[in-house]
Structure 1
């Protein structure tokens, strides 16, 4: 035995190919990894930018909410002042200049109690207390005291009385303005904390001449609580500036920024900057927002360091990026090392997928002709009666264009028999090969396709019915179809020794394809060797035979029972055209035709087996007449059609009414008129229709429904008799007991005992 230890040439080539593939894979995966990393960096930058924008937008929204809340509080303080201005006692007290009168003190004490009631009504506001300064008398009224301004100052501010004159000037300054906010840092002990005095001049705020000032004591801690949702960081602050660009107050984490010098410096810094359309500005690693007050002329500025935006996840991202690089390199190594295994596995999966896809396409292609054939059979046999079904088939066949008209070509194939002088009928043909059927279908598709679709069905063996859509002049299309049919016959005869005899019906709309099919079938029955293609319009109508095929009878019955009046009229027009206009039937044959039509109408009539109605009685009377006319038969068919259509509508209506009654029978207001109004019908029609369909009067039906439910509730024993009567729709207890005894023979209470 000879063993060749050298590797074969194809193995060497395969190894070289594998190495080349490994290098290609490595490069491809590396490029792919690089793209992913770049994409990660880009997405990180985009997400960081968007996250930062969302952060500052959220911060701005919080700031706006806080400013709006403060505005609302100031508005409420204004409202309190206006309410006080309407107090006649306060007005009288404020205008008094002498304090020697006992009435002055009595009025002051009375007013002090009134102020307490306002305090309780607005306990959610940011001020801790408030007082009214009477400028004429120099007295102050608060919730707890009625004293001179100096005594009030000593008790509530600096007990030493220091800076009293400045405080007095503060209350009497800016008498032309309606409101102002003053810091109280110079009038309070350091350990008391910062506070502000919101002063409202009643002279300016109201139309009355009231020499009084209302002052609200606001702690800085209260202001901080309002702006607690706003993040300031270590160096951030909030500052409010009035219309004259003077600072009003400020809030910050740094306690040393509240001096007048610091406030002026901060104010100048924020006013000197330029702001964008969103009223924001970024300057020296500081993010600044401004919002105008809607209550007064103040402008609020929020200054925040950029560092408050959380950036801890930047380090996490770098770790993830580094891990992605290491993991990507490891993955590239694994993929390159095992490249052939996944490739082969993927190739197997691809082949399986392609095979499954091919099978799916073949199955879909096999099912589609079956559906086409089934729908075309229904169209040509005329079994479709509803417009919805007809519209669905039209859309499925892609024949939605309303400008299209249709011909139906009905063809029969025969094997060539030179010895035969005539041709057998379709049932005696000898062709049996399925392959030949496919060949004929292929040739038909080449000659009679419309937009690459052949609308072909085969009702029987060797018979081919082709639906031919067209747009244009019917006569020109008919000539073209005749030329195609002759060429098709010649090719079929020369190549396969098969004759093809075809008839074609009149052009029609989509709804009357069955009519053209019947005409094409009739025309095909008159073809011969000399006339292998015959249009229906060229037939010589025999006046000794009337035209009423079984398909017409079946179609007429379906149209009548389906309530399709337009189809019924179309069928009668066709019968009239075929027998009276074109054949001019003699009287005796016309009587036979009318008798067959009456038999058809009788079949349609007796599909209804329900109770006799006036419409049915009228129809039966018309059908029993001895002397029939074509017009009489048409009238009978239309009346039958209307009867079946109305019967269907009535059934739907009565079902809806019964459902409505069962859902609302517990309503005491439910009655004949209410239901008539609900369904937009007259009371007499509703009463008659209900009795006709339910075999019971409406009132009896409703009472029986209520009493049945009442008996069920009494058996359960969970409610009293009076409660049950009300629950089932009886307002009158006597009526309920009388009706219950009439139905069950015992009173409701006795029925409950028996149960």
Structure 2
């Protein structure tokens, strides 16, 4: 008996301990993976910070190199190299001009704290704000100005764009951390001066401080030889003497590095490993406590689970039932809403409200609407029951018959049809078919409608009336089939034929063809001046009303009145003064014809009226565009010197789209907006270069260029010579 009682304990104990051991193994693996992921995350984060510092340093190096090249090529700088005493009377003017020229470079080098030129022959140092001779500097001056001391202590050798380790330099603005940059003017075998610049390293150090450098961490910039150029430490001023390599991890440290684009520099971050993995160590400690605790209580827990094993299973089953019940309620709620959404979709489809096939197909897929086939048509079904007053009994009877009709259709054609209630006693059925041949399609549909009629008649002892529109190959044309079904139903009631097809309507109908969508098309064609589509639409109206139908004179008079009314509606909406045009007598169109021959002639006159209105619309558009273009040209003539002038700015100014504005400028000037503005600016620049004494930079600013380099490139691209050369050729 005791063995039987011990068996459940034993059975639960072995699997539970196995699971604990497996969990322990998983925890060890997870710890290793977490450690790797955390290291990768920290490395990635550090890489991002170093990348930001790299971008800032790259930008500063580019600015510094550009300034060094500009100074090396400046004639005023080069002229001072051969002067032994710059303070002689004959050299004072050159000295002042050089200092002024140096000051002009300060505005384009925001990252450079200051820069100096050291002339070796004269032992003369000059900067944008001061100048002096090294040999005449007093000891007091040297102590007060550490920049002066640094320059005096330079080695007598050739320097090429060389950065030196960061220094604490004293100046008038106090003590600053700056990176010296030295570039010799000349060649390794022959040089007469050095350019000494001091780069502000605060932005680089601020970027490096974004890394967690606590408890002995540090980050720095090093050159190719491993010398530290600049850096920061988490505490104190400690920095290593030599740099580290990311692939050679020092014991207990985590190193992240990134190289600059030229390969001569590297940015390195060094962090204590326990700082990087502090979260992992915490997880490790917690996991160990949990695992050993679970192992300790595993034996006791297995006994309890042996006697209470049914409770968790019961709770689990109950939870599954609750989830299943919740899922069923959610599914029912969605199914309850689906008929409303399907009805809204079908109504928009019949109204022709969908702009494209793709949007319509996505909605159909979501709502599970079964309309798949080669041809689509609309059948309007009229129940033989018309309400003359509000009667609850009659309403209930009508609803019952509608429901019965839906059941009849679902039994016979549920997979190829969709139904929509469109009135008290009418339903619209959208029918899809794979039959392409017209006669076969009509025979197939007639058989199916006859079966529906027979089934409904057997249940409710009432016959149905149908109106059938023509089939179309696209669902986008279902709205046209719906209009045709409405017309067919109106002709079929109270005809003896219960299934009138639109294309089988009698040849002598008592109603003309001019549906609402055709009127809207005519109005749109008048607004756009589309003569071709206008002629096609009138051609279709003529065939439909004068060829296919033999309309009686009163019906023709109504059709012509509707056409004239549409034209007057457009004239009233657009404000076109058509009545003042002597070439068109509007009163003649208001006089209705007497006889079919006169009606046809009147129809052609109305066609010419629409053509004349469309022509006047085109002329008015052309006049408006010409007036608008004159305003645009006038605006550009006044504002071409604005550096911010662009297509979006002009579009906002005249309240028209950028695309239309670009096409308008291209149409009237023969060139793009950018080409037109650049031509205006270059013509003005040529005039200023030839007739004014403004310098090139002032002329560039005057014609709308914020950058002298951009102006020079644009001028040379258009005229083949630089602005300076052009001025020389013009004799100015």
Question: What is the TM-score normalised by the length of structure 1?
Answer: 0.48
Structure with max Cα Rg: 1
Question: What is the TM-score normalised by the length of structure 2?
Answer: 0.50
